[in-house]
Structure 1
Amino acid sequence: MGPDLLHGGTLMILRAGSVAAEHVAGSAPRIEERFGDAAGMTGMGVNVVTLAPGERSAQKHWHSHSDEFVLVLEGTATVIEDECATEIGPGDMAIWPAGVTVAHQVVNQGETPLRYLCAGTNPPAETVRYPDEGETLFLVHPDWHVIGDDGTIRRSGRE
């Protein structure tokens, strides 16, 4: 079942199951349903993420220009912020405003799959810091590169 276009195409309804789940490598492997992409959104990403037991959302990171939030739908998430771990469940949220230098990630330490809504702004230029890896991602759409703390380019590419 695909999206429903109402009012002459100005409102899009995405029904459950209308967006295919895909494996995403990113900074950690996970399954995402990319609702924002399916709706043609460019200024904001909206995904439902599924983490199997033992998986994490990403390497610990923080964003210079992108707001980000997580809303747990099913299961229990362990939210790691710097060195602090907090469990949150269905209906609970974690919110990280742009520029707040709290390195964070979501981990599924439970025995069942974890599903959560993750949304964030998609600015045209962004810096993402990965303190545990000693590297920083610099993104100016569509180009990106990752620089290590020693100043070397570790990876680069184009979206």
Structure 2
Amino acid sequence: MPIIAVDAIEQVNRTGYPAPHDAAVAGRWYRRLGEAFGLRDFGVSHVVLRPGAASSHRHWHEEEDEFVVILSGEAVLVDDDGRHPMRAGAMAAFPKGQANGHHLVNESGQDCAFLAFGRPPAGPCHYSDIDMMWDGAAYRRKDGGGF
């Protein structure tokens, strides 16, 4: 059935980030809607940021476009150009290959929910503020070393 009952899909807060980088996303909960409904060309995730949580570390993808839509609550988009408040209905796009590290942070006292659209990361992902990158298969240090 094409109608999505969001609450019927498992909500998790797993991350592949190695310690100590995993702490920033401990309050990020998500549901992989695309996977649950068999979408293959792009992914859709329903994400909830608890107060104080970040969506990720600031990052940019070489080979993956990203698009987010705030559903409820508020978050601050932090990118190379500064801090940008976002509320329900606000949208942001991050074209692949543009080296503009970005993430969302919930600095409010209420949950923030948004939809994130993209495709499963296959190529390199660069983290702007920490010594970490995704090489398409695993997280590693920028100098090539492991965690």
Q: Shorter-chain TM-score: what band?
A: 0.7 to 0.9
Question: What residue is the counterpart of 1:14 in the other structure?
Answer: 4
Pick the structure with greater CA Rg. 1
1:88–1:68 CA distance, 2 compared to 1 (3 A): same
| One-letter amino acid of the counterpart of residue 47, structure 2 | V
CA apart distance, 1:26? 4.1
Find the partner of 1:66 among 39, 64, 67: 64
Deviations 1:95-152 (A, max 9, x none): 10111100000000011000001111236x311001211222111xxxx122323231
Please list, as runs of the form range in 1=range in 2, the aligned pairs for 1:1-159 lying within 5 A after superposition: 4=1, 12-27=2-17, 28-29=25-26, 30-82=28-80, 84-122=82-120, 125-139=122-136, 144-154=137-147
Q: Structure with the greater relative contact order (CA < 8 A, sep ≥ 6): 1 or 2?
A: 2
TM-score w.r.t. the length of structure 1 is 0.80
Q: What SS is found at the alignment partner of 1:22?
A: coil
Letter in 2 for 1:35: L
Identity between Structure 1 and Structure 2 (%): 29
Q: Quick one: distance in 2 between partners of 1:137 and 1:33?
A: 22
Distance across 1 between alignment mates of 2:138 and 2:120: 17
The alpha carbon displacement at 1:71 in A equals 0.3
How far apart are the structure 2 equivalents of 1:127 and 1:43? 18
Q: What TM-score comes out, normalization by structure 2 length? A: 0.86
> 1:26 & 1:44 partners in 2: Cα distance?
20
Q: How many residues align?
A: 139
Flag the structure with higher strand content.
1
- The answer to whether the Cα contact below 8 Å between 1:64 and 1:100 also exists between their aligned partners in 2 is yes
Which consecutive residues of structure 1, in runs of 5 or more, have no partner in the other structure? 5-11, 155-159
Which amino acid in 2 is paired with 1:131? S
CA apart distance, 1:86: 0.4
1:83 positional shift: 5.7
CA-atom RMSD, angstroms?
A: 1.6
Pair 26,86 (structure 1): closer, same or farther in 2 beyond 3 Å: farther
